[in-house]
Structure 1
């Protein structure tokens, strides 16, 4: 791949353009808002001038509702040898493209499983896709050259290719992406008019659950409108669990010992199934999830504090597998939770105490 045209310079399009440009591809940028294309170009993602001839690859990264139109228009203009999109829904898009007269040989639907609650070219980074799955949905009509271009794109962005059927992809993202977005928004909506005293009690748990609720509402409305059936199917299952959980909690208020006992069993069942499902989420490098021990260290909100902790951990040969920061309410301090392999926690805790760090007892 020597040349590419990125159509749509939001978070995903600009991030892909940055990755391609950094690896020697001549990237051209196009957006319905010329200012966004100029911004992406200023960041080093390419040039906002149209190519003089056909490019190797056209990457369509526009909002979901406009993907079909953009792919069809690019094909009519004959701008590239191959056409890809990065929309988050593939099944309904395939039907829209077919109805619009898409050339199926030169087109391949893709979806990088990466993103952010932030949007726009200024949120883009060249490493957004590194190590992340990038779904490819070729059909029997897809030209081999186009599939190879897609694989090269994924390699240049340092992502991991995953080949799937379009409908299977839509069912999968309904479960692991679209439904979590809705649930995050629903939980966050409970905070909209909550008492200020309650909001001040927010800890890391509520921050984890509601982080993605800050995403672009208009974009998510487009996504959900393109994949309503699979998302509704997951929500129906959740609704059954939710109804049963509400009944169980009401049962715990009852003075009836039998009802109380059955309610406890019902709640235990939901919590246990949740733990078992959580254990299936891939761990580090996509491997089976590992169980880590946590060392919680009191940290002040000053420059260089995290670097000092990491340096002290490295000095004793302990690798930090994961890290979380829990900020204290009303104080310029917090706790950093260092996740390490089982057996390393004690030696790390001892070493950090010797170096003057205050640890929180788990």
Structure 2
């Protein structure tokens, strides 16, 4: 791949353009908002000048509702040898293109499973896709050269290719992305009018659950509008679980011992189902999740503190498998949770104490 055209210079489009440009590909940028394309170009993502002829790959990075129309326009104008989109829904756009009677041999639907709460070119990052799954949904009509160009794009972005059927992809992302986003928003909505005294008690648990609720609602309306059926089916199942759990909790208020036992059993069943589901979430490098030991260290909110604690862990010969920061409410301090292999935890704790760090018991 020597040349590419990115249509849509938001977070995903600009991040892909930055990755390609950094690896020597000549990238042309286009957007319905020329100012946004100029911003992406100023960041080093390419040029906002139109290509003089067909490019090797056209990447359509627009909201799902506009993917088919944008692809059809690009294909009819012969802008590239191959065309992909990066929308989070795959079945709908493909069917729209089929209904238009277009030759789909130069097209393949794709979806990089990566993003963040912020949107737009200023939020873009050339490393956004590194190590993340990038779904490819070829059909029997997809030309081999087109598939190879898509795989080259994934490799240049340092992502991991995953081949799926388009409709299977849509059901999967409804489960692991779209439905959880709505549930996160519903939990966060409970905080909107909560008393300030209650909100000040927010800890890491509520921060984890509500983090993705900070995303742009306009973007999510586009996504959910393109995949409503599978998401509604999943939310209906969650609603059933919620109703059973509510009844179990009501039973715990009963003065009848048998009723209370039913309540305990119901709540425990739900919690254990949650344990079983969470244990299936892939861990580091996509492997089965490991049982790490947490070493919690008090850390002040000062420049260089994280670097210093990582350096001290490295000097102790301990590899940090994962890390989280628990911020203290109203204080310029917090706890950094260093996740390590269980056998390494005592060694790390002892080494950090020797270097003056305060540990949480």
Structure 1-normalised TM-score?
Answer: 0.99
Name the SS of the counterpart of 2:274 in structure 1.
helix
Q: Distance in 2 between matches of 1:252 and 1:210?
A: 27
**Match of residue 150 from structure 1:** 150
1:119 aligns with 2:138: no
Q: Distance in 1 between matches of 2:96 and 2:187?
A: 34
**Match of residue 168 from structure 1:** 168
Name the SS of the counterpart of 1:29 in structure 2.
strand
Q: Distance in 2 between matches of 1:62 and 1:92?
A: 14
Name the SS of the counterpart of 2:303 in structure 1.
coil
Contact 1:64 1:219 in 2 (8 A): no
**Match of residue 128 from structure 1:** 128
Name the SS of the counterpart of 2:126 in structure 1.
coil
Structure 2-normalised TM-score?
Answer: 0.99
Q: Deviations for 1:127-172, whole angstroms, at most 9, x for unmatched residues?
A: 0000000000000000111000100000000000000000100000
Aligned residue pairs total: 361
Q: Distance in 1 between matches of 2:341 and 2:46?
A: 42
What does residue range 334-349 of structure 1 map to in structure 2 within 5 Å?
334-349=334-349
Contact 1:110 1:135 in 2 (8 A): yes
**Match of residue 284 from structure 1:** 284
Q: Distance in 2 between matches of 1:103 and 1:119?
A: 32
1:270 aligns with 2:270: yes
Q: Structure 1: state its 5+ residue gaps.
A: none
**Match of residue 247 from structure 1:** 247
**Match of residue 102 from structure 1:** 102
Contact 1:89 1:227 in 2 (8 A): yes
**Match of residue 55 from structure 2:** 55
The alpha-carbon deviation at position 98 of structure 1 amounts to 1.1
Q: Distance in 1 between matches of 2:198 and 2:100?
A: 52
1:37 aligns with 2:41: no
Q: Distance in 2 between matches of 1:335 and 1:150?
A: 42
Q: Distance in 2 between matches of 1:85 and 1:102?
A: 15
